[in-house]
Structure 1
Amino acid sequence: MRTAISSEAREVARAAAQWLTLLESGEATDDDHTRLQHWRSSDSRNESAWQKAQLLRQRFCGLPPTLAMATLDRPDLARRAALKRALGVAALVPAAWLISRQLPLDVWRADLQTSTGELKRLPLADGSSLQLNTASAANVDLAKHRVTLVRGEMALKVPGSVALTIEAPYGRIVVSRSEVCVRLNERDCRVSVVSGSVQLQPLHGPMMTLQAGQQVSLQASGVGPVGPFDALLPDWRSGVLMAQNQALGDFLRELSRYRSGLLRWDPALENLRITGSFRLDNTDRVLSLLAASLPLEVQSRTRFWVTLVPRKNIA
């Protein structure tokens, strides 16, 4: 099974590849160079990704820089143009390779995708409705009545009697006249039935029916125990993150799925309790609300590097 890569690592790798491609295009301005330097210095992970991109460029470029420059200085315009094109391709190869190491090709090629923090609702031609949560990807093949969850989380509502089958790494979910949420985690696939009932076909074990209000984990070894699911509570489908006397650490791990960059917190904050409903369209505001209601402070090195620490007592 492919090792899961964090959304932060994917964002950093993608940014490094984009910067590399821009510089190699020859169209980067002085302002672009300044912004690149700021990006590199704002986070040690950015600098590390940039150095890897540069190293890959050197490995993939077949010509030494001195030879390339000498050739470009020759008056043969056709030769210069051909070499520029070759260098452009050579620059794009490590950029694409760098991203593909962090973001698998099956995600790149998916029919439907969302970026970090993006939520998307899509009506399907058969009358069904599909929603994608943050950093998710899915393929849709209505001719075969099939939806494949490639990454992340989705909700599928099928109002008619013609079933759609959700393909996931650990089994299949057959949806008809029902609504279901499916979340792909590193080691399992969580299935939550919002309305109606669905048929589960695990890779191992017998088929089973899951009713509205029930939730289960599909795993490589089979189906986990059935638990309750409160479909009446607002959740990501409504753009809301709910917490009911939840440990702050668990809440922040969930919130970080909707933020680009790095979100850290002092271990002393891990077991603080939190209750409330929080809009997902402004995670900075969520952090401000946490600081206003809990004994913590928000420290921002940059927009993409935020740390929560215990609030200092002022005499």
Structure 2
Amino acid sequence: MAQPLDYRTLEAAATWYVQLNAKQPSEAQLNAWQDWLGKNQAHAQAWARVEKLQRQLGNLPADVALPTLAGVRARRRAVLKTLAMLMAVGATGWAVRESTPGQAMMAELRTGKGERRHISLSDGSLLELNTDSAVDIHFDDEYRQVRLYRGEIMVQTASDPAARPFEVQTAEGRVRALGTRFSVRSDAGQSQVSVLQHAVEIRPVENPLLMLRLEAGQSANFDKQRIGPARSAAPGTGAWTQGMLTVIEWRLADFVSELNRYRPGVLRCASEVADLRLSGAFRIDDTDTILENLSASLPVKVRYLTRYWTRIEPA
């Protein structure tokens, strides 16, 4: 029977989480963590609570899992934030959902990690939500707006008899559709727009006089003040709407980071194999098979530390 968890046990679990995410853990660290995990039932129970958060929130907040956490104070803040969430989640997990700040948690439309949704809007436009995404829809007499709080969407706009503009808003700015099909992704303080048909206009929220028009086949990143240069959209842009991830000569570390968006828990890549390259088309609804096939095409092995903690290592 599960026992109540004390503060020190939860703090230890939070500390291990931050240590294992702050940098590539050494073999000694992994062994020490597994020794701690198996020492008694309370440790395993506390780690199960970490994994529950990973399943519910896609992952713990980005500022807890930054790869460059520097200094004792930064690491301690990360531990305390993780600890607070572990204490809040309790036995049911509902406390975290209700207390976590941010509009994404209260958004009208959401997807979990590995989930996608296809929605027909009231004006006939089509909206597709990728994994771990959250949006609100706001249509009135003057505007048609989709507010993207996190994640990625694909929009196919319909013509509107009232000629209302169609916009996607992110924390970084506005994307206005010009009769088009396009994707918008918002992540870590940046938005990325890729246009598949026709054109869009981008304006940063803190620099609205700055504008960039993107044509079909183009892509650009922007933050709250700046817009990056227009470039050719990557091959396979939008393939996720068909359940596919298409890559050409990607670094393994970048591929693993992208695949982690679709897989519950934590997926990491050891630095020794980070620069290996791979190409292919992968079905994102079956990440287990993708991981199994990696070792057939690259000199790597997949190490499952727990059900929700996986690491790609040299073979």
Q: Same fold (TM over 0.5)?
A: yes
Instruction: Check conservation: 1:160, 1:176, Cα contact below 8 A.
Output: no
Partner of 1:224: 228
1:172 correspondence with 2:177: no
Cα separation, 1, equivalents of 2:244 and 2:269: 22
Which of 1 and 2 has greater Rg? 1
CA 1:39–1:159: 2 relative to 1, 3 Å: farther
The corresponding residue for 2:28 is none
Report what 1:107 is aligned to.
104
Question: Which of 125, 128, 143 does residue 128 from structure 1 map onto?
Answer: 125
**1:52-201 superposed matches below 5 A:** 52=84, 98-99=96-97, 103-143=100-140, 144-161=143-160, 162=163, 163-201=165-203
1:41 shift after superposition: 6.2
Conserved 8 A contact 1:173-1:199: yes
Q: Which residue of 2 aligns with 1:264?
A: 268
Question: Residue 118 of structure 1 aligns to which amino acid in structure 2?
Answer: E
Distance 1:181 1:46, change over 3 A: closer
* CA distance in 2 between partners of 1:224 and 1:296 (Å): 35
Q: Is residue 194–residue 237 contact of structure 2 (8 Å, CA) maintained in 1?
A: no
Secondary structure of 2:181's counterpart equals strand
Q: Which residue of 2 aligns with 1:240?
A: 244
Q: What CA distance in whole angstroms lies between the structure 2 residues aligned with 1:100 and 1:274?
A: 41
* Counterpart code for 2:267: L
Aligned equivalents of 1:50 and 1:221: distance in 2? 31
In structure 2, the residue matched to 1:84 is none
TM-score, with normalisation over the residues of structure 2? Answer: 0.68
User: What does the per-residue CA deviation read over 1:94-152, in whole Å, with 9 as the maximum and x for residues that have no partner?
Assistant: 96554456x53411211100000101111111110001111000000122411101111
Decide which structure has greater helix share.
1
> Which stretch of the first structure deviates more once superposed, 255-264 or 154-163?
154-163
Cα deviation, residue 202, structure 1 = 2.3
Alignment partner of 1:254 is 2:258: yes
Identity, in percent, stands at 30
Structure 2 match to 1:273: 277
Following superposition, the deviation at residue 165 of structure 1 comes to 1.1
**What is the CA-CA distance between 1:303 and the residue it aligns to?**
2.4
Contact 1:53 1:95 in 2 (8 A): no
TM-aligned CA distance change 1:222 to 1:268, over 3 Å: same
Counterparts of 1:231 and 1:160, CA distance in 2: 28
Please give the secondary structure, in 2, of the residue aligned with 1:223: coil
Name the amino acid aligned to 1:199.
E
Give the secondary-structure state (helix, strand or coil) at the position aligned to 1:297.
strand
TM (norm. structure 1) is 0.68
Q: Which runs of 5+ in 1 are unaligned?
A: 1-8, 13-35, 58-90
Relative to structure 1, the CA distance from residue 243 to residue 232 in structure 2 (aligned partners, 3 Å threshold; closer, same or farther) is closer
Q: State the shift of 1:43 in Å.
A: 5.6
Deviation of the 1:310 alpha carbon: 1.2
Name the structure 1 match of 2:60. none
Consecutive unaligned residues in structure 2, runs of 5 or more: 1-13, 18-40, 53-78
Once the two structures are superposed, what CA deviation does each residue of 1:191-242 show, in whole Å capped at 9, x if it has no partner? 1111011122223143332111111112122211111115765621211111
Question: How far apart are the structure 2 equivalents of 1:260 and 1:134?
Answer: 11
Which residue number in structure 1 is paired with residue 6 of structure 2? Answer: none
C-alpha distance 125-306 of structure 1, shift in aligned 2 (>3 A): same
Between the aligned partners of 1:247 and 1:218, the Cα distance in structure 2 is 23
Q: CA deviation at 1:262?
A: 1.4
Q: CA deviation at 1:52?
A: 4.8
Larger deviation, residues 112-121 vs 43-52: 43-52
Kept in 1, the 8 Å contact 2:173–2:204? The answer is yes
SS of corresponding position for 1:222: coil
In structure 2, C-alpha distance between the alignment counterparts of 1:239 and 1:257, rounded to whole Å:
13
Structure 1 residue 175, shift from structure 2 partner: 1.2
Query: How well do the aligned residues superpose, as a CA RMSD in angstroms?
Result: 3.1
- Report the Cα distance in structure 1 between the residues aligned to 2:183 and 2:88, rounded to whole angstroms: 40
Report what 2:64 is aligned to. Answer: none
